[in-house]
């Protein structure tokens, strides 16, 4: 029997093992406020569908809450929470950020969650932890509008904050690696021409991305998530990652074109709207089309371009999982 790791490693190498790999993930609102509850919900999701890896999806605030942000669940179909208190108000606030200790507060809770998931599912299921890049965390600390106002007015002060955020990310990853995670899901939200030109992203995003990804090179399942549209997709070829995931059904490039532009495996093929509004037959149709476009699933992890909405029907999630068994 092919193990999940063997199947994924064959995919990363550009091939296909016994069948194409598949993985979906979602938020678990309310559950994500308690490490034990999030671990239980994540493990139950894996038991229900038997995906080839677990992408652990805490609320985005897990990495910034210890700086003082507050957020609440208001019913988003994505499962995300809304920020109700930001900690960056004035330009000088970027210089007030202190290094976070991963062994305390919300970060410690997330490490406990990883430990509990590992205990629940065992060593045969690869586990990757979501990591938001420093610029995405800065957005959550200040809000999108204020972040860009500050970047235009006093970019050097924002950079002081980005440096502190980066150091806190590095410390958290170091602790997470001690729990034998298999990789990280590195989520980038601003590598888009809607926000930056290439030179500006190199200054405010890429330099910190490289610093963080350099410490994950010992892991074998690092996934780069490029969020949004008008993507700087060249990063998928430049960054030391094994898999790239993006909204391939909603923006350029399409799946097979993306694979031509990177040595990494690609993850996608099913539209999130289809997952919610479609029927099982439409899920299977998109899955088969994606697999066919990748020469029978070579170098493909079947999935969606981002989180599966929490309102997606069970039968559609099951259809996505079953589609690879009959590819």
Residue with tokens 């330099």: 207
The DSSP call for residue 228 is S
List the chain domain ranges.
Answer: 4-326
pLDDT one-digit tens code per residue, 15-60:
999 999 999 999 999 999 999 999 999 999 999 999 999 999 999 9
| Per-residue model confidence (pLDDT) at position 1 | 83
| DSSP-assigned letters across all residues of 162-182 | HHHHHHHHHHHHHHHHTTT--
Percentage with pLDDT > 90 across the chain? 99
| Per-residue model confidence (pLDDT) at position 326 | 86
- When pLDDT is averaged across residues 155-166 and rounded to a whole number, the result is 98
Q: What is the mean pLDDT of the chain?
A: 98
**Residues comprising the chain, all counted:** 327
Closest-CA residue to 294 (of 7, 102, 19):
19
**In the predicted structure, residue 111 carries a pLDDT above the cut 90:** yes
| Per-residue model confidence (pLDDT) at position 327 | 79
pTM of the model: 0.98
Which residues have C-beta within 8 Å of that of residue 197, sequence separation ≥ 6? none
4-326: CATH topology is TIM Barrel (3.20.20)
Name the H helices within the chain: 4-12, 35-49, 105-121, 134-142, 144-153, 155-177, 198-201, 207-214, 235-238, 255-260, 272-277, 280-293, 314-323
pLDDT one-digit tens code per residue, 282-310:
999 999 999 999 999 999 999 999 999 99
**In the predicted structure, residue 227 carries a pLDDT above the cut 90:** yes
């Amino acid at each position: 029997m092919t193990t999940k790791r063997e199947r994924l490693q064959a995919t990363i190498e550009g091939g296909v093992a016994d069948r194409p790999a598949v993985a979906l993930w979602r938020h678990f609102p309310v559950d994500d406020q308690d490490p034990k509850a999030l671990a239980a919900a994540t493990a139950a999701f894996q038991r229900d569908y038997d995906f080839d890896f677990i992408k652990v999806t805490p609320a985005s605030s897990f990495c910034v809450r210890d700086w003082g942000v507050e957020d609440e669940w208001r019913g988003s179909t994505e499962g995300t929470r809304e920020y109700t208190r930001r900690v960056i108000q004035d330009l000088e606030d970027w210089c007030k950020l202190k290094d976070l200790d991963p062994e305390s507060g919300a970060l410690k809770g997330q490490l406990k969650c990883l430990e509990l998931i590992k205990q629940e599912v065992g060593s045969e299921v690869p586990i990757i932890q979501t990591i938001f890049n420093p610029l995405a965390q800065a957005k959550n600390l200040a809000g999108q509008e204020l972040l860009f106002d500050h970047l235009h007015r006093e970019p050097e002060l924002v950079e002081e904050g980005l440096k502190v955020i980066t150091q806190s990310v590095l410390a958290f990853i170091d602790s997470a690696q001690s729990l034998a995670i298999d990789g990280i899901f590195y989520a980038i939200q601003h590598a888009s021409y809607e926000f930056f030109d290439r030179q500006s992203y190199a200054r405010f995003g890429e330099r910190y991305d490289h610093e963080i990804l350099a410490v994950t090179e010992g892991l074998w399942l690092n996934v780069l998530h490029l969020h949004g549209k008008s993507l700087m997709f060249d990063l998928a070829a430049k960054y030391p990652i094994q898999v790239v995931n993006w909204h391939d059904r909603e923006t350029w490039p399409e799946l097979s074109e993306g694979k031509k532009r990177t040595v990494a495996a690609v993850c996608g093929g099913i539209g999130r709207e289809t997952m919610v509004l479609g029927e099982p037959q439409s899920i299977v149709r998109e899955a088969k089309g994606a697999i066919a476009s990748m020469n029978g699933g070579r170098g493909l992890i079947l999935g969606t371009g981002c989180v599966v909405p929490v309102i997606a029907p069970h039968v559609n999630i099951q259809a996505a999982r079953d589609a690879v068994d009959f590819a």
